Amino acid sequence: MAAFAIRLVRFTGRLLLALTAVVTPAVVFLVLIVLTDGAGSGLPAWLTTLGVASAAALWRSRRRTGAAQLVPFVPVVVAAVLTATVCVPTVPRTRQHPPALPFVATQHWSLNTGSRVAVYHYPPADPGTRHPIPLVYLNGGPVRGISVLDHRFLQLLAGRGYDVYTYEQAGGGRSDLLPMDQYTISRSVRDLNAFIHRLGKGKADVLGFSSGAVVLTRALADPSVTTQLHRAIIAEPGPMDGPTSRITGHTGRPSARDLAPSMTGPRSTHIPRYAVAFGLMRLGLLTPDSKLIGQAEGDNAFTAADLGSDTASAYCARDAHRIPSEDTPQNFSFSPAASLRMQQTVKESPSIAPQLRRSKTPTMLMIAECSSQIRQWETTVLASDPAIQRTQYMPGVGHHMWNGLDDNNDRAASVVTAFLQGEPTPLPNYPTREEIPAFLRNRE
């Protein structure tokens, strides 16, 4: 029994030494990836690691003879194979745009900002009920294609007489990429201004959702843009500026995060190259324009399943087991690096509250009962913009308010159309500015 225990201890010790011999070069490799920001697709870091590990193995084998001299090189070979997978692309390195949608034509407009964006137009279903002001939709993302679920909602608005235009913001979906340093929140505001100008129909109503609502909020603080805005609808906004992004608080009623079944389908994060790249970017250890993977390669690799519980967080807990398919695999497009870069520019921006307090554009704020957004992000907009005429607290829905479940699309459309037409609110005007403290205190 004692002999067995001794052998077990020796075996365990050797196994730990072998694992250490494999793990150490891998850790050195990751450190070099961070220090070099992934230069050369990680190859310089890999060659350096291989050289150092081989030298160490050679030093360890100097007193061995025969086949035993090769033993120290075994973990080096294993580590070299494992880390090499981080340097080898598995998807094209030039952007592969989604194929055309079967139900709407894709146009490409070159804006005077230099952005070339994919544009979709839904004319009113009945020209006799056409509303005179065009409606522009800004999707969330921030650098993401427009989902099929959103397209269906825009079709519904067109069915109610609206001349609906939308575009995938630069870098998203079928729009052209930008150099990484040009993905800024101010560029997105200028693109919106340029788009409405290119539309050539005078003032436009604008509906901004999530990060698109952030773009719209900042546009309302810019006098050069507000001259082109007729009415604005801010739906489920993220933080509008740096000070707001640092606000801590609570979200809405419980969402389906951690309750819904895991998303199925391929994940880029199951591939070592993209797991390392996206993971280190998320941790802030690699820059969004890291040379480990290019922007186009990252866009091609990222899948809907990579969003994980982020999708579930956009639905109420009660809907956890009936979350609809928001998009098709062919249409899905998300740029993780450009999105991180865009979010960073918001966090680094100064307060826009002084400018927003001068806004005169009639505005409505929409917030969801089960919102995954920090409530204070939303109430800060309400407190700062005196031109917000009504707030619509949407019961029974999460962050993605027009989600195709039950009558949620019709209810959202009724709220939108009532405001745009100056009709009475379908829901109570809640919360008002005066009710913000109670609203936050009640954790609604």
Helix (H, G, I), strand (E, B) or coil at 115: coil
Segments of 106-203 assigned E as strands = 107-110, 116-122, 135-138, 164-168
Q: How is residue 66 written in tokens? A: 């025969």
Is residue 202 classed exposed, middle or buried when 0-12, 13-18 and 19+ CB atoms within 10 A define those classes? exposed
Q: What is the mean pLDDT of residues 236-250?
A: 96
What pLDDT was estimated at residue 6?
64
What pLDDT was estimated at residue 14?
57
| pLDDT tops 80 at residue 93 | yes
Q: How far apart are CA 235 and CA 37, in angstroms?
A: 37
Q: Mind listing the pLDDT tens digit for each residue in 96-122?
A: 999 999 999 999 999 999 999 999 999
Is the torsion defined by CA of 313, 315, 317, 323 positive or negative?
negative
Amino acid identity of residue 311, one-letter, is: T
Q: How is residue 111 written in tokens? A: 């804006």
What pLDDT was estimated at residue 433?
96
Q: What is the mean pLDDT of residues 335-353?
A: 96
| pLDDT tops 70 at residue 4 | no
Element (H, E) at 21: helix 2-36
Angle (CA) 395-398-401 rounded to 5° is 80
Q: Mind listing the pLDDT tens digit for each residue in 157-168?
A: 999 999 999 999
What mean pLDDT is reported for the chain? 92
pLDDT > 70: percent of the chain: 95
pTM for the full model? 0.92
What pLDDT was estimated at residue 112?
97
Q: What is the mean pLDDT of residues 277-296?
A: 94
Segments of 149-262 assigned E as strands = 164-168, 204-209, 229-235
Q: Mind listing the pLDDT tens digit for each residue in 21-77?
A: 678 888 888 999 999 999 999 999 999 998 888 888 788 777 777 766 777 778 788
| pLDDT tops 80 at residue 8 | no
Nearest alpha carbon to residue 329 among 307, 308, 304: 304
What's the topology of domain 107-441?
A: Rossmann fold (3.40.50)
Q: 352 with 188: CB under 8 angstroms?
A: no
What pLDDT was estimated at residue 22?
74
What ranges do the domains of the chain cover?
A: 2-84, 107-441
Q: Mind listing the pLDDT tens digit for each residue in 126-142?
A: 877 778 999 999 999 99
Q: What is the mean pLDDT of residues 293-320?
A: 94
Q: Mind listing the pLDDT tens digit for each residue in 385-444?
A: 999 999 999 999 999 999 999 999 999 999 999 999 999 999 999 999 999 999 999 988
What is the pLDDT confidence band of residue 246, given thresholds at 50, 70 and 90?
very high
